[in-house]
Amino acid sequence: MREFHARILYGPEPAALLLRAHTLAAQALCLHPDKPCTPDAAAPCPHCRKVFQRIHPDLITLQAEPGKGLSIAAVRDLQADVLLRPNEAERKIYLLPQADFMDGRTQNALLKLLEDGPAYAMFLLLTDNSKALLETVRSRCQVLAVEGQRQPPAAETLAHAQKLLSLLENGDPLALLEGSLSLEKLKREQAIPLLETLMELLAAGVKAQGEPYLMWYDEVGRMRQAQEFHIGAAHLAGWFATLTAAAPC
């Protein structure tokens, strides 16, 4: 069976794509026989723990230009970085968001890595439209559909997520602190759909304006991943309160 070191993950929900990508990364780096460590593991291996906390030095997320995807300059930087061996693990994993936004020139520059990249490198291309990628790119990747399992958010969940987004956009640190208190009473089964809904709202902001929505999206994504390790609501509220509340330009 052919072994791919590059995968295209496609699906309509950014949160589901991100979760699947980090699960694949954890699986590739995990030290335990049953890979990856389960969310409720009493002692997850250090690689899985760092992947889901978004602090693993060998898991690199490339920054895409809003509405344009990765630039050819970013791919050239990637070509240089991939020559450096992993820091801690046996593999080095790159996440490429909005892969379908790359133009043909950029995708062609990526082909060399997909064909002849070092054995320790893995590339995960995230997109909501895999057919927008060149056939030459698709043929060098394993293509995996990521189905969104979540139903449309309840009206109360959507309203709560919109309120949190408004607090971030307004940029008032005191209001952000007060608003974060609404997270303290949430149960895990309430926190997960709320965070995923907020991620979807932020994803729209990333495509339209970029920073600071990109930073907020990444941090909220970390909060969502942390729920797999049963992070408490009080910790979640404190985490949200620390987000930079700079208003978008």
The pLDDT, as a whole number, for residue 150 is 55
Neighbours of 27 (CB within 10 A): 14
Helical H segments across the chain, by residue range: 14-29, 46-52, 72-81, 104-116, 135-138, 155-170, 173-180, 188-209, 213-226, 233-241
- CA-wise closest residue to 60 among 70, 51, 68: 51
Q: What is the largest CA-CA distance in the chain?
A: 57
C-alpha 53/C-alpha 205 separation (Å) is 23
Angle of CA points 180, 181, 185, to nearest 5°: 120
Residue 144 parent element (H or E): strand 142-145
For the domain with range 6-145, which CATH number is right: 3.40.50.1970, 3.40.718.10, 3.40.50.300, 3.40.190.10? 3.40.50.300
User: Residue 202 in contact with residue 248, Cβ under 8 Å?
Assistant: no
DSSP character at residue 95 = E
Beta bridge partners of 65: 69
More confident residue, 218 or 21: 21
User: Residue 4 in contact with residue 72, Cβ under 8 Å?
Assistant: no
The pLDDT, as a whole number, for residue 248 is 45
DSSP character at residue 62 = P
Which stretch of 120-124, 174-178, 184-188 has the lowest confidence by average pLDDT?
184-188
Angle of CA points 215, 112, 109, to nearest 5°: 55
DSSP character at residue 31 = -
User: Residue 229 in contact with residue 55, Cβ under 8 Å?
Assistant: no
The first and second tokens of residue 3, run together, are 């072994």
Name the band, by pLDDT with cuts 50, 70 and 90, for residue 178: confident
pLDDT digits (tens, 9 = 90+) for 118-138: 999 999 999 888 888 999 999
Q: Is 22 helix (H, G, I), strand (E, B) or coil?
A: helix
User: Residue 12 in contact with residue 215, Cβ under 8 Å?
Assistant: no
Name the band, by pLDDT with cuts 50, 70 and 90, for residue 40: low
Task: Indicate whether 160 pLDDT > 50.
Answer: yes
The pLDDT, as a whole number, for residue 95 is 93
Whether the CA torsion 185, 17, 64, 117 is positive or negative: it is positive
Average pLDDT score, the chain: 83
Which sequence spans correspond to the domains of the chain? 6-145, 155-241
pLDDT digits (tens, 9 = 90+) for 217-228: 878 877 876 776
* Percent of the chain residues past pLDDT 90, beyond the cut: 24
